[in-house]
Structure 1
Amino acid sequence: MTPHTPPHPAAGHRDHSGHQDHSGHQDHSGKHAHPGQHDDDGLAELLELEAEILGPLLDEVVGWVAQHVGEAPRTVVDIGAGTGPGSRLLARRYPSARVVAIDRSAPRLERLRAIARTQGLADRISTVQADLDDAWPEIGPVELGWAAASLHEVAAPDRLLRDLHAGMRPGGLLAVVELDALPRFLPEDIGTGRPGLERRCHEVLARAHWNAYPDWGPHLQEAGFRIAGRRRFGVEARPAPPGTGRWAHGTLQRARPALTGHLAADDLLALEHLLAEDSAGAVLHREDLVLRAGRTVWAARRA
């Protein structure tokens, strides 16, 4: 889903794939690391735009998870819900379920509730403000847990997984969703500077541990879950869907501080050209963008 950010200091190896202040600790890629980046409207809008553009991909992910759920769940929990795109997907998939959206950020939860009201889902989705680095909140037994691009933002994910396992009904399912790589938007040759700018940007961000997360399979098993499945979902769209230019612009803007000082001078100039809104070659106005994005999903069951 994503703006992307540098690693959470307490998390050591992690960073968000670029997302929201999900888990209750990060800064979504939009996550930690930049003071003042929490809860800003620009990030929330970027996350909503991402969810809209990747709607068909996310529908496919939810459909695959549903194959492992079995009986329709009564309580569904969106862990690190952000502004709630996952909560809304789950509420529509399971119309008889109570959907609980957990996030640390009060402004994002307020935005979640506002969107739910406009979409007729206010009576289906409840919110819980909680920092998942502190403790798992008292919400009752869970049949389906959904952790999308949030688990790696928690300082102690293994502790959280144990708490989740304890809080799930026998037979309950946990779905862990991660970006399999940073989204890609640019052609190899953008018409200025050297070809391969986006690839070099991603190399810099990888060295800074953006979108870093482990194989969650062993962690889930250690917490007591049984792995029910793992699958990668991907999309490559040419031409890119409407709105991709705005998503690409917001993502590159958020990455720029991490790239400054690490990219070559000519690459930084090319990046500035892409971000200059009044430039004919700006990413906002380009017609040669390609959308390449993917998710890796683990489905794990409590025995």
Structure 2
Amino acid sequence: MTKRVQDFYASTNNNERLIQFMVAILVRNSLSQGIFTEQLKELIREVYLTAEPNDTMRRCSPFFKRCFSGSEWKGLIKKLFKNESNYFANTEEARFYNNYLGSEGTLKNHREDLIYHVESVFEDAEGKKHKLTIPDTDPTKSEEQTVNILRTLSLLTVFENAGVRKFVEYVSYKTPGLTIASAHNSRKEKKAAQASQTKNVPEAATQAPQQEKEQKQFVQSIANKKETGQLLPADRETRHTQAPREELRSEAQDDTRDSLPETNGNDSASPMNSPTSDGEKGRENLQPATKKKPNKPAELPKRPDTSYMRYGKSEAQIEEERENKRLQREADRKNGKKKKRKKRK
């Protein structure tokens, strides 16, 4: 925090905003038993002793009285207010709140196993409520002390949200005590991961050129094989470890063909090429059996097409069947037989 305040003043040289930030730090320290560092004290002394007086310096001067010696403080009052009566008339509110900023807690309610926060509510310039949480606070501050310490923020105009002043009016507060069962900080994990990556960068940097060199040699060997049809020495060294499965399979098939005996047209072994040793017989038995092509059957005469008997009738057969049915109906009519009618359901 100290460095951020110093960097802000060095970059902006805005003493009015700096003084208001200092008052907010005093409020934070008062609720959490913090210490106003020596570096900030020196910065305040520099501003009040060297800068031209303005309203913010005059209004907030009581908060920094402890930063000056007795003689320095008297000379500062003359510089800012010309006399003590003007000082008391223009700093009444700031002197009232300053009495609470430096007071000690009066309650005896602190427990070692609890962490306390001050959760306060303020209204902004538009009357909207917003919450301010101050972590890790001193629970021994009484209600009167805590309320007036928080009301000190209403003197500040530097804190805004979208152009709307934030701490206009104090509303309420509470100080809950919390027991931290477990905790996690993702930022610490990220920092540890970044540190490990930075540590591994030199090793990766040395491995990358070697891998790139090996890839280039492999690509170049493939190109030379395509052009010449021969293997380079580097390829011969790594042939049995990096050859693809298809290449190994084709070599195995070639070895199998060489170990099998040649056959004549009747697929029987030739006496000249028959195996002559037990080792060769064993190798022959280990080879997969080759399938003989079956003999083609002799061509048989075609059967007559009888599909019309299964799937239909010829026109002559249909006409003959119709004529037979007509003659049968006439014979039945002459014999007095009546046609059976189907009953309607």
TM class, shorter-length? under 0.3
Bigger relative contact order, structure 1 or 2, given CA contacts below 8 A and separation 6+? 1
Tell me the TM-score normalized by structure 1.
0.23
In our comparison, the structure showing a higher alpha carbon Rg is 2
Q: Which has the higher helix share?
A: 2
TM-score, length of structure 2 as denominator length: 0.21
Q: Which structure shows the bigger proportion of residues in strand conformation?
A: 1
